[in-house]
Chain A
Amino acid sequence: MEATPAWRKLPYRRLELYEPEGDLMTLQLGPQHPSTHGVLRIKLHLDGERIVKAVPFPGYLHRAVEKLCEQLTYVQIAPIVDKNDYVAPMTSEQAIILAIEKLLKVEVPRRARWLRSALAELQRVASHLLWLGTMTLDLGGALGGGGSVFVYTMRERELVLDLFEGLTGSRFHYNTHTVGGNRHDVPAGWAKDMHAALDLIEKRIPEYETLTQNNRLFVERMRGIGVLEPELALELGVTGPNLRASGVDHDLRRDAPFHAYDEVATNVITAKAGDCLARTQVRVAEMKESVRLARAFIDGLPEGPLVSGKPIKLPGQFKVNSGQVYAALESARGELGTFLVAGAGTSPYRLKIRPPSYHAISALPYLLPGHTVSDTVAILGSLDPIMGEVDR
């Protein structure tokens, strides 16, 4: 007989114990709710304010991106797919491009790989900034201290978006990656702007810490809430900062280097507790680490061509007849993988995206029971789900 995992022994984690009784109140949290990070619906069975059972219902933002990509050629997929994770479009674009390059066996020039790494780190900073803002917004309310932190982090995130705009011309949905390299070269003075922006962000991070993780009011709300055991996290496939906050030392940047991460060492940040506070601490520390990495990548940006092979001129430029690949990178939310099966010709036969957010919210039925309605938003926010990515 299989031994019961430790996390399953906790009474409120044994979901089979609970059947919503007639006298439990059912609360539909979402899909239209201020703090479900988009359109997640969670069905909460409440005993007073205590949650007895929670069932998340994703799917309200389903846009059939994977099916759509089967109709598109390899050239056209990237600009569509970067709408998936609308908080970190740069990495969702890179994820699909990595898979296509692996399928087509295209080599990427060194300069493009370094530039991609720098962009990925900048995007991680921007994404974590937005996360910190919305997390505090969930705790403190839009008309309160949470709103203040939100506006501060948005202010600093604008700096990163300005950088992206200077590079690609768009603040969002850049389409700056192409099969075999990057489309936009670094403009003159961009590296200097980037250093200035990163310096400012690094200077401001202690301020957010004062308002959030060093503030006892905030800590009280977060400590011991939504503890995600490492076994449960691994079982559910939770990755990224959520997993690292549970004490599992796993980071694709170090463990399976993509881009240029094999050339610059990444410090993987972990925490032991696995609660909401640990997730906050991991993300804030990761922000600092990403600032360091982004600096290293832009300083060491090698000379050379940006694209290997011919630049895109035709929709059917890349042909492959068979093969299947899985490529993954560490996005701001965890392992963002793409499974690609080649069809005959210029389009994929099947495209499957493995979004880290989907696996993160699959932990909700285990994390929520036993907590109160107030903690729901804290737990949900601390997992950092992006519904565009969950539903695709």
Chain B
Amino acid sequence: MTLFAWLSSILVAVIVLTVTAFGLWWERKLAGRMQSRLGPTIVGPIGLFQPIADLLKLVQKEPIIPQRADRALFWLAPPLTTLFALLVAALVPFGPKLAPANIDVGVPLIIALGGLALIPVWMAGWASHNKYALLGAMRAVAQSVSYGVPLVLTALVPVILAGSMNLNSIVAWQHRHHWLVVWPVFLGLPAFILFILAMLAEANRIPFDIPEAESELVAGVSTEYTGMHFGFIYLAEYVHTLVGSAVASTLFLGGWDGPFGPSVLWMVLKTCLLFSVLYWLRWSLVRLRADQLMALAWKWLVPAGLALVLLAAVWTQTPWGR
């Protein structure tokens, strides 16, 4: 591994964590305004240092381990959730040259790593020795397994059209032709929407946040966690959403491709915009029930994804899509 790869990986991790921290502030501010509230105002100018205050609070708190919990798994699970969420970020190209891990199987690897994030969640749920946590973990597994399928199928559409599994090549293809949501719109837009839905479900966000549905399961897998352990799980969810938005904008919105200026800026801008829309969605909708979620995945998203893959394959054989 070259020095450049090391440095860029660290850079990307720092960028992602910083953006996530301020994404936290941004979400709270945005949610406040959407609810006709003020949002954070006290810590720093317009409450900008609120995430830092939150972090300090979480670090100070005593980590409590339930007596009958599986200590090793209980300790290990939260950092792993964040780690796996961050790993995905290493694969996302932030510029034509700035791709920490520019590998040829980028798309399957991203989806595999996204699926891997499930394991620490199950670990946490199992190790907590809590029925709510266990129910939450079971829901998380069911949901993640179900939504992995449409996620793969919709991610295959840009792969088929661009003819590459390398994320950077897909962006380069979009740079040469069109952004995928723009053209072919009948393939790109539905695939984009389905991808966003499946990604939300993978990241356990409303309206698909049933694994931690706090009105039903208290807090799902994070019920027994305190302090920074809870912080890691919380952070993982945000990183997951952020990285998911980054992947979605890479696959469908042209990634680092922009009319002018540096490519990193465009990537960050698109990601943040998508991130904000997802927040907006979150603060507007109620959650679905577990069985409705499964029905949505298997009855609608999977057939639609299959149809899209088929269409994309046909489209590449037509004179316009060649």
Q: How far is the CB of B151 from chain A (nearest CB, A)?
A: 21
Residue of B139, B210, B216, B282 touching A145 (CB-CB under 8 A): B282
Residues of A within 8 A of B170 (CB): none
Q: Mark B282-319, 1 if CB is under 8 A from A, else 0.
A: 11111111111000000000000000000000000000
Partner of B215, one of A25, A34, A218: A34
Q: Is the pair A147, B290 in contact by a Cβ cutoff of 8 Å?
A: no
Render B107-147 as a binary contact track against A, CB cut-off 8 A, 1 for contact.
00000000000000000000000011001000100000000
- Shortest C-beta distance, B38 to chain A (Å), equals 12
Given contacts A34-B214, A152-B36, are A145 and B206 in contact (CB under 8 A)?
A: yes
Q: Which stretch, A70-78, A262-270, A282-290, A367-375, touches the partner chain B?
A: A367-375
Q: What residues on B are CB-neighbors of A34 within 8 Å?
A: 214-215, 218
Q: Which of A105-147 contact B (CB under 8 A)?
A: 136-147
Is A27 in contact with chain B by the CB < 8 A criterion?
Answer: yes
- B64 → chain A, closest Cβ, in Å? 16
Residue of A nearest to B27 (CB): A143
Within 8 Å of chain B (Cβ to Cβ): is A35? yes
Mark interface residues in B199-220 (1 if CB within 8 Å of A CB, else 0). Answer: 0000000110110011111100
Chain A residues with CB below 8 A from B41, complex form: none
Instruction: Enumerate chain A residues within 8 angstroms of B282, measured Cβ to Cβ.
Output: 143-145
Q: B286, A377: Cβ atoms under 8 Å?
A: no
Contact call B215/A377, Cβ cutoff below 8 A: yes
Q: How far is the CB of B140 from chain A (nearest CB, A)?
A: 13
A230 CB to closest chain B CB (Å) equals: 26
**Interface membership of B18, Cβ < 8 A:** no
In the complex, which residues of chain A have a beta carbon less than 8 angstroms from the beta carbon of B217?
A: 373
B215 touches A142 (CB 8 A): yes
Chain A residues lying within 8 Å of B292, measured Cβ to Cβ, are: 220-221
Among B183-228, those with CB < 8 Å from A are 206-207, 209-210, 213-218
Q: Which residues of the other chain, B, contact A376 by a CB distance below 8 angstroms?
A: 216
A49 on interface, CB distance cutoff 8 Å = yes
* CB nearest neighbor in A for B37: A151
Give the number of chain A interface residues (Cβ < 8 Å).
35
Q: Residue A324 at the B interface, CB < 8 A? A: no
A148 at the interface (CB under 8 A from B): yes
Tell yes or no: A155 within 8 A of B by CB. Answer: yes
Residues of A within 8 A of B287 (CB): 139-141, 144, 146
**Contact (A374, B216) CB under 8 Å given A145-B206, A151-B35, A221-B289:** yes
Distance of B202 from chain A, by nearest CB (Å):
17
Docked complex Cα distance between A303 and B287 (Å)? 51
Nearest chain A CB to B147 CB, angstrom units: 17
Q: Contacts A148-B283, A218-B286, A372-B290 hold; do A141 and B215 have CB atoms under 8 A apart?
A: yes
**Interface flag for B46 (CB, 8 Å):** no
Q: Which of A27, A143, A218, A372 has the most CB of B within 10 A?
A: A143
Contact across chains for B135 and A373 when beta carbons are under 8 A apart = yes
Q: Which residues of B contact A136 (CB under 8 A)?
A: 286
Report A-chain residues with C-beta under 8 Å of the C-beta of B209. 141, 144
In the complex, A167 has a CB within 8 A of chain B: no
Q: Which chain B residues lie closer than 8 Å to A220 at the CB level?
A: 288-289, 292
Interface set, chain B 229-244, CB cutoff 8 A to A = none
A67 beta carbon closer than 8 Å to chain B? no
Residues of B within 8 A of A33 (CB): 218
B206 is contacted by which of A137, A140, A215, A372 (Cβ under 8 Å)? A140
Instruction: Please name the residue on chain A nearest to B219 by beta carbon.
Output: A34
Q: Is A191 an interface residue (CB 8 A)?
A: no
Q: Is the CB of B215 within 8 A of A139?
A: yes
B15 on the A face (CB < 8 A): no
Q: A217 and B214 in contact (CB under 8 A), knowing A147-B283, A152-B36?
A: no
Q: Which of B139, B207, B215, B282 has the most CB of A within 10 A?
A: B215
Q: B34 near A: Cβ within 8 Å?
A: yes
| A161 interface hit (Cβ, 8 Å) | no
Minimal Cβ-Cβ distance residue in B for A155: B36
Which residues of chain B have C-beta atoms less than 8 A from A375's C-beta?
289
Q: Does A296 contact B (CB under 8 A)?
A: no
Q: How far is the CB of B297 from chain A (nearest CB, A)?
A: 15
| Contact A145 B286, CB 8 Å, known A151-B36, A220-B292 | yes
- Chain A positions within 8 Å of B214 at CB level: 34, 141-143
Q: How far is the CB of B281 from chain A (nearest CB, A)?
A: 9
Q: Which residues of A contact B37 (CB under 8 A)?
A: 151
**Interface check A301, CB cutoff 8 A:** no
- Which residues 291-350 of A sit at the B interface, judged by CB distance below 8 A? none
A151 to B285, CA, bound (A): 14
Is A211's CB within 8 Å of the partner chain B? yes
> Cβ of A374 and Cβ of B213 under 8 Å apart?
yes
**A137 to B, closest residue via Cβ:** B215
In the complex, how many angstroms separate the beta carbon of A214 from the nearest chain B beta carbon? 13
- Complexed CA–CA distance, A182 and B193 (Å): 59
In the assembled complex, which residues on chain B have CB atoms less than 8 Å from the CB atom of A211?
Answer: 284
Asked if residues B284 and A372 are in contact (CB atoms below 8 Å), the reply is no
Q: How far is the CA of A203 from the CA of B214 in the complex (A)?
A: 31
**Distance (whole angstroms) from the CB of A44 to the closest CB of chain B:** 10
Most buried by A among B209, B214, B290: B214
A residues 1-40 in Cβ contact with B at 8 Å: 25, 27, 33-35
Q: Are A25 and B131 in contact (CB under 8 A)?
A: yes
Contact with B along A195-239 (1 / 0, CB 8 A): 000000000000000011001011011000000000000000000
Give the residue name and chain of the B residue nearest to A373 (CB).
B216
Q: Which 10 A-B pairs give the minimum distances between C-beta atoms?
A: A140-B286, A144-B206, A151-B35, A35-B215, A145-B285, A139-B286, A374-B289, A138-B215, A145-B286, A145-B284
New contact pairs (20) apart from A34-B218, A140-B215, CB-CB < 8 Å:
A34-B215, A139-B286, A140-B287, A141-B209, A141-B215, A141-B286, A142-B214, A143-B206, A144-B206, A145-B283, A147-B35, A147-B283, A148-B34, A151-B36, A155-B36, A217-B288, A372-B291, A374-B210, A376-B216, A377-B216
25 contacts between A and B (CB under 8 A): A34-B214, A34-B218, A49-B139, A137-B215, A140-B285, A140-B286, A140-B287, A141-B206, A141-B213, A141-B214, A141-B215, A141-B286, A143-B206, A143-B214, A144-B282, A144-B285, A144-B287, A145-B207, A145-B283, A146-B215, A155-B36, A215-B286, A221-B286, A221-B288, A373-B135
Seen from chain A, the residues whose Cβ lies within 8 Å of a Cβ on chain B are 25, 27, 33-35, 49, 136-148, 151-152, 155, 211-212, 215, 217-218, 220-221, 372-377
